[in-house]
Amino acid sequence: MSASAQMTRVRAIQWARQSIDRLDARLLLQFASECSANALIADPDVVLEEAQWTRFQSLVQRRAGGEPLAYLVGEAGFYGALLAVTPDVLVPRPETEELVDWALDVLRDQPAPTIADLGTGSGAIALTLARARPDARVMAVDVSSAALSVAQLNQQRLGCANVALIHASWYDGWQAADGLDLIISNPPYIPADDPHLSGDGVRFEPRLALTDEADGLDAYRAIAAGAVARLKPGGWLLVEHGHDQGAAVASLWLQAGLVDVRGRLDLSGNPRMTGGQKPARSA
């Protein structure tokens, strides 16, 4: 289908529905024709311009081929904010909002906390914490300079002056003078041989952010190894992980000398987060 003579908004959506989800079709049409959700509902019979129809068809085809909606429209919602995303960063996921909730819980009684987000990507975790806690100082660390550019754009958009972007692999070459109250991370944790890597959506995401090219635990080993030296007494290490990695991550946390090690379920009931604390005073 390519003629646009009488291609109205409603007919365009009907065409797209043959290959993609209804909500995605609506969002892509809004994006391709620069119209609001309200306008789409109020005026379904508006005829698309030729260029809008062409753009919409191409977006629908890409979505039908598995490209994440967030990459097609260049943004994604996270914790009530709209973040810029590109194929240089993971698409922020709802489970990660729950990791942020946990972090806000553990920091509740800690004034002016110092936080490091390791592998920040779009900056989703770091910027959300910085917004929720304007008294915090947040270090957003990533080894990918392309990812840091996206995080920087988001920092500017959201106006978070209390975030420092750091180009580094995990802890290499930077330090927080007085120690950290929280180390938080959603690192690459998919094992290299997991078919999920070539699955719908995921295969368009940056491999560096998804897998360690090994057993899926390398990032946790590196993060655990450096944590106790950098945390303040009583400081927390909280991470997201795969549904079957909780026991392995917990044992790395214990080996590293963390205490009060515990997992947390996501809203779907899967064990997707593990945390532990540096002992309150060294024995």
Instruction: List, as residue ranges, the binding site for substrate.
Output: 186-189
SS3 content of the chain, % helix, strand, coil (to 5): 40, 20, 40
Alpha-carbon gap, residue 207 to 219, rounded angstroms? 14
Phi, psi of 30 (to 5 degrees): -60, -45
> Which range in 73-81, 127-135, 180-188, 249-257 contacts ligand GLN by CB under 6 A?
180-188
Judge contact between 214 and 97, C-beta under 8 A.
no
Q: Which of 249, 256, 182 is CA-nearest to residue 219?
A: 249
The contact pattern for ligand GLN, residues 89-118, with x = CB under 6 A and - = no contact, is -x--x-------------------------
185 interacts with ligand GLN by CB under 6 A: no
Answer for which of 53, 71, 79, 189 binds ligand GLN (CB under 6 A) is: 189
Q: How far is the CB of 220 from ligand GLN (least distance, A)?
A: 11
210 interacts with ligand GLN by CB under 6 A: yes
71 interacts with ligand GLN by CB under 6 A: no
Nearer to ligand GLN, 187 or 271 (CB): 187
What is the distance of C-alpha 100 from the center of its chain? 11
Answer for which of 184, 190, 228, 239 binds ligand GLN (CB under 6 A) is: 190
Answer for which of 186, 245, 274, 277 binds ligand GLN (CB under 6 A) is: 186
Q: Which of 135, 29, 39 is CA-nearest to residue 73?
A: 29
The contact pattern for ligand GLN, residues 14-33, with x = CB under 6 A and - = no contact, is --------------------
144 interacts with ligand GLN by CB under 6 A: no
Task: Give binding residues for S-adenosyl-L-methionine as ranges.
Answer: 119-123, 142, 170, 186
Question: Reduced to 3 states, what is the DSSP secondary structure of residue 222?
Answer: helix
Judge contact between 231 and 253, C-beta under 8 A.
no
Nearer to ligand GLN, 202 or 238 (CB): 202
202 interacts with ligand GLN by CB under 6 A: yes
Q: How far is the CB of 126 from ligand GLN (least distance, A)?
A: 15
> Which range in 132-140, 172-180, 184-192, 249-257 contacts ligand GLN by CB under 6 A?
184-192
Alpha-carbon gap, residue 122 to 21, rounded angstroms? 25
Q: Which of 120, 110, 114 is CA-nearest to residue 165?
A: 120
Judge contact between 178 and 232, C-beta under 8 A.
yes
Question: Reduced to 3 states, what is the DSSP secondary structure of residue 245?
Answer: coil
Q: How far is the CB of 184 from ligand GLN (least distance, A)?
A: 12
Judge contact between 249 and 219, C-beta under 8 A.
no
Q: What are the structure tokens assigned to 58, written together?
A: 């191409």
Site residues (vs ligand GLN, CB under 6 A)? 90, 93, 186-190, 202, 210
